[in-house]
Amino acid sequence: MTNRRSSNWYGKLDKDGFIHRSWMKNQGFPDHAFDGRPVIGICNTWSELTPCNSGLRVLAEA
């Protein structure tokens, strides 16, 4: 098993790994999404509460 955090979440064959994979499968991810590739998340700070990051709205909708 690699040092990636996503491998620790989705690659384990114990109960916790089963729960994490099940939740993602429930969201529509196919089985091959868990074949050892890293899981990459993208965060965006756009919000309607402040105009500071208003240019990020287009990215948030993409």
Q: 36 or 17, which is more confident?
A: 17
Residue 26 pLDDT > 70? yes
- Mean predicted confidence (pLDDT) in 31-60: 79
Instruction: Look up the pTM and report it.
Output: 0.53
Residue 2 pLDDT > 60? no
pLDDT score of 15: 94
- Mean predicted confidence (pLDDT) in 1-30: 83
- How many domains is the chain built from? 1
Residue 12 pLDDT > 90? no
Distance CA 53, CA 59 (A): 11
Distance CA 56, CA 60 (A): 6
Q: 20: domain range? A: 5-61
Identify whether the C-beta of residue 6 lies closer than 8 Å to the C-beta of residue 17.
no
Identify whether the C-beta of residue 58 lies closer than 8 Å to the C-beta of residue 51.
no
